[in-house]
């Protein structure tokens, strides 16, 4: 049995640890913060991270550095963050779909997409766009789906790779509409887009970066992948408006910390990020990259990620493909 003096010493030790943790959270940050991005410099995720980094640096009065760790379908960066100290000084900015799908795509991960991370909050949201070549007979999404039903598996689509968000988005649409397509994966969004521009495939799904080609008439937009229309892509119908009610496949970016990061620290980062997202100049910069701001709570992101891991995990398991 424990003696009273020993119990007292244990209580004092626990209280001391709690006090140190609380004090550390209150003073956070006292040194530079790193935002790990799982893609090379120059892409939309990288640019979004740099916009956020400037704002957090101004708010916290500490340097916030963006560090690119690309490769292996974002899992190199994710594994690095998952194994980093849970103190709020190493953060992870990525797309929720990509992060959620990695759990089912890779069988030998050193981390768990949910258990290894502390959700901080959504940064942005945006729609994907379903695109065809101008020579396509499909003038609407329903035209494309009708053709697919008449010719199962004949229509081809390009994506930026197996398990990438556009690939999974098409699989969701195919399942919801009882259609089948033939997937042509490429190594990245640029070659996938080139395949459509040269009419080598029937369609693709791309992000808002495709707007210049749409405006120039080089591509035709059939619909967005979101349930609601978007001011980012004016004049293009949502999935609901195109006849696919109940389906919503948004793109976007979200911020994570290693699991075990103190709640006070997570909330402090979330509050600073939300303050930044309310600034008109920040909204404008993100909109230029094809993003709408998406302030919210860590709890919002946690709930969304639980749903997304289940959603895309089922698609991947049903299809039978993996990347290991």
Q: Which residue has the tokens 């001011």?
A: 231
Q: Which long-range contacts (CB under 8 A, 24 or more apart) does 52-56 make?
A: 52/93, 52/123, 52/255, 52/273, 52/276, 55/272, 55/273, 55/275, 55/276, 55/279, 55/282, 56/269, 56/272, 56/273, 56/276
- Residue 160 has what pLDDT? 84
Closest by alpha carbon to 222, among 168, 125, 146? 146
Domains of the chain: residue spans and CATH: 31-126+251-319 (3.40.190.150), 129-224 (3.40.190.10)
Q: Quickly state the pLDDT bin for 324 (edges 50, 70, 90).
A: low
- Is pLDDT of 140 > 60? yes
Mean pLDDT in residue range 104-115 = 92
Query: What are 180-220's pLDDT values in tens digits?
Result: 999 999 878 889 999 999 999 999 999 888 888 999 999 99
Tell how far CA 174 is from the center of its chain: 21
- Model pTM? 0.83
Least confident range of 91-95, 177-181, 319-323: 319-323
Rounded to the nearest integer, the mean pLDDT of the chain is 90
Q: Locate all alpha helices (DSSP H) within the chain, ordered by sequence.
A: 4-27, 44-60, 75-82, 96-105, 141-150, 165-177, 189-197, 211-215, 263-277, 280-288, 298-319
Angle 263-277/280-288 helices, nearest 10 degrees? 80
The answer to whether 254 and 273 are in contact (CB under 8 A) is no
- Is pLDDT of 103 > 70? yes
- Residue 183 has what pLDDT? 95
């Amino acid at each position: 049995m424990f003696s009273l003096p020993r119990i007292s010493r244990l209580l004092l030790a626990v209280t001391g640890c709690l006090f140190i943790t609380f004090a550390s959270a209150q003073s956070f940050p006292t040194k530079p913060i790193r935002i790990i991005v799982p893609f090379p410099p120059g892409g939309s995720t990288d640019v979004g991270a740099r916009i956020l980094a400037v704002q957090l640096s101004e708010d916290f009065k500490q340097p916030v550095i963006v560090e690119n760790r690309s490769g292996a379908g974002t899992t190199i960066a994710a594994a690095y963050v998952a194994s980093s100290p849970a103190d709020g000084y190493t953060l992870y900015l990525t797309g929720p779909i990509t992060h959620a799908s990695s759990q089912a795509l890779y069988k030998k991960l050193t981390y768990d997409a949910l258990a290894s991370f502390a959700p901080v909050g959504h940064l942005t949201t945006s729609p994907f766009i379903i695109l065809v070549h101008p020579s396509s007979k499909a003038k609407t999404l329903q035209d494309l789906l009708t053709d697919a039903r008449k010719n199962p598996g004949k229509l081809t689509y390009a994506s930026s790779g197996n398990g990438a968000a556009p690939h999974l988005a098409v699989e969701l649409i195919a399942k919801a509409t009882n259609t089948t397509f033939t997937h042509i994966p490429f190594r990245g969004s640029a070659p996938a887009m080139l395949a459509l521009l040269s009419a080598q495939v029937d369609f693709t799904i791309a992000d808002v970066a495709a707007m210049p080609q749409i405006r120039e008439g080089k591509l035709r937009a059939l619909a967005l992948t979101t349930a609601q229309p978007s001011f980012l892509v004016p004049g293009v119908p949502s999935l609901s408006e195109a006849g696919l009610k109940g389906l919503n496949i948004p793109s976007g970016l979200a911020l994570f910390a290693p699991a075990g990061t103190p709640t006070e620290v997570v909330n402090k980062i979330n509050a600073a990020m939300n303050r930044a997202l309310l600034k008109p100049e920040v909204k404008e910069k993100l909109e230029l990259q094809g993003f709408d701001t998406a302030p919210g709570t860590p709890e919002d992101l946690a709930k969304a990620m639980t749903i997304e891991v289940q959603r895309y995990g089922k698609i991947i398991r049903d299809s039978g493909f993996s990347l290991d």
